[in-house]
Amino acid sequence: MKKDELLCETVDPAKLDYKNPIFERLEEDPNNPWHLEDQIKFYKNNNVPIAYFALPGQRSRHYYAIFEGRSEGEAKGYNKMRNAEVKKKERGDAAIKEHETESYDVMIENGYDAPKEGDNPEEIIAYQVVMDALAKEYSELSEEKRRICDTVKKGMTQRDAAAELDIPRRTYRDYKDKTLDGLAKKMKDYR
């Protein structure tokens, strides 16, 4: 089914009363023409607004499910992350299509350079911002809470961590849960 044949009542995102909109692009699958329609039906059945438009920097229009984010930081972060993922996938798909062949060796010989993870400057900067914020929050923890975080970072079992800290396992579990919950609350704008 072509997009122009797809019957879907869409909304104007500007007319929604969402302070922090999150845009989830609906995937299109050329091998399954019903894939997009099934997604639209799913979101419509769950009262999620659907819009058909092009985000800044996009050449063509796409369908999006629109959600209300909990905060401006969450919405901006999520939208930026998803946009970077979509662009990365599109670049990869275009490169594969350009060099399409049955052999990866032939692709390499023809000059195809597979995209490398972590090459996107936006992803690198976003990752660094989150890591800097986490490092700041970690430095403000008490010595005891930092030691608990260190056991989690090392991947220690509860038994080994409790033995290293010389506290009962149940006490360790409770301290660990409280410490990680506290960090999660402080880092909520970076999810």
pTM value is 0.45
User: Residue ranges per domain, the chain?
Assistant: 8-122, 141-183
Q: Provide the pLDDT for residue 162.
A: 92
Q: Which residues pair with 64 in a beta bridge?
A: 25, 51
Q: What are phi and psi of 51, to 5 degrees?
A: -125, 155
Give pLDDT tens digits along the chain (191 positions).
Answer: 444 445 566 777 777 888 888 888 888 877 787 888 888 888 888 888 888 877 666 677 888 888 888 888 888 888 888 888 888 887 877 777 776 655 666 666 766 666 666 566 777 778 788 888 888 888 999 999 999 999 998 899 999 999 999 999 999 999 999 999 998 888 888 76
Q: What is the rounded distance in angstroms from the CA atom of residue 124 to the CA atom of residue 105?
A: 30
pLDDT for residue 104: 64
Q: What is the pLDDT of residue 101?
A: 58
The pLDDT value recorded for residue 163 is: 93
- Beta-carbon contacts of 53 under 8 Å, excluding residues fewer than 6 positions away, are 13, 61, 62, 64
